[in-house]
Amino acid sequence: MSPILGILASARSAANAANSYESIATVTVGSGGSSTVSFTSIPSTYQHLQIRGIGRNTYLDTFTSFTINFNSDTGSNYAWHYLYGDGSTALAGAATTQTVMREINFASGNLTTGVFSGFVIDALDYANTNKNKTIRILGGGDANGSGAVNLSSGVWLNTSAVTTITLTPSNSGNFAQYSSFALYGIKG
């Protein structure tokens, strides 16, 4: 391929990638916090979904978790596993027949004010009614030089299209003010 054609092909590929994500909804938690964040009426017009967020749990701990629920299903229809590291400890775990999917390593109330964790959640083939739904999560946060990261994945044992995603902080906490969650649709 000539250098000119290579540059044109590269530019076209970059333009297609830039147009492959579409913003569906954004939630920013207001004063007083929130016990849940939900995305509802999700259209089935995309290949995959992605949630990008920064957040914090008000629960008094260093790091804690939040859970993920599809279509308000609270039956024992979820399974997940994770890898976690904080610089001195490495953990791995798994669970089956759960009522939610769990994301770990989320900044909490014992950290310095203003410290938030970042994360990306991918919901793959969320509208395909011929397969169970899988997610993958990459998250992490800094605790003034002693942060932690995790990689998780999970499955919802249901072939229904995902129309609602609910995130709920664990340990009776709330999402703190200024936590922000953005849902994107990814074209096929």
Residue 7 lies in a domain: no
**What pLDDT sits at residue 132?**
98
Q: Give residue 46's Cα distance to chain centre.
A: 17
Residue 77 lies in a domain: yes
Residue 39 lies in a domain: yes
**What pLDDT sits at residue 117?**
86
Q: What is the pLDDT of residues 148-177, one digit of tens each?
A: 888 999 999 999 999 999 999 887 788 889
How much of the chain, in percent, has pLDDT values that exceed 90?
56
Residue 46 lies in a domain: yes
Domain that holds residue 125: 22-186
Rounded CA separation 133/128 (Å): 8
Residue 134 lies in a domain: yes
Which of 79, 169, 94 minimizes the C-alpha distance to 133? 79
Residue 56 lies in a domain: yes
Instruction: Taking residues 59-69, report their average pLDDT.
Output: 79
Query: What is the domain-level CATH number for residue 139?
Result: 2.60.120
**What pLDDT sits at residue 49?**
98
Q: Where are the alpha helices (DSSP H) in the chain?
A: 3-18
Q: Is 49 helix (H, G, I), strand (E, B) or coil?
A: strand
Residue 14 lies in a domain: no
Residue 11 burial (10 A CB sphere; 0-12, 13-18, 19+): exposed
Residue found under tokens 């590291």: 85
Residue 8 lies in a domain: no
User: What is the average pLDDT value for the chain, to the nearest integer?
Assistant: 86
**Number of structural domains found in the chain:** 1
Q: Which two tokens stand for residue 157?
A: 């044992």
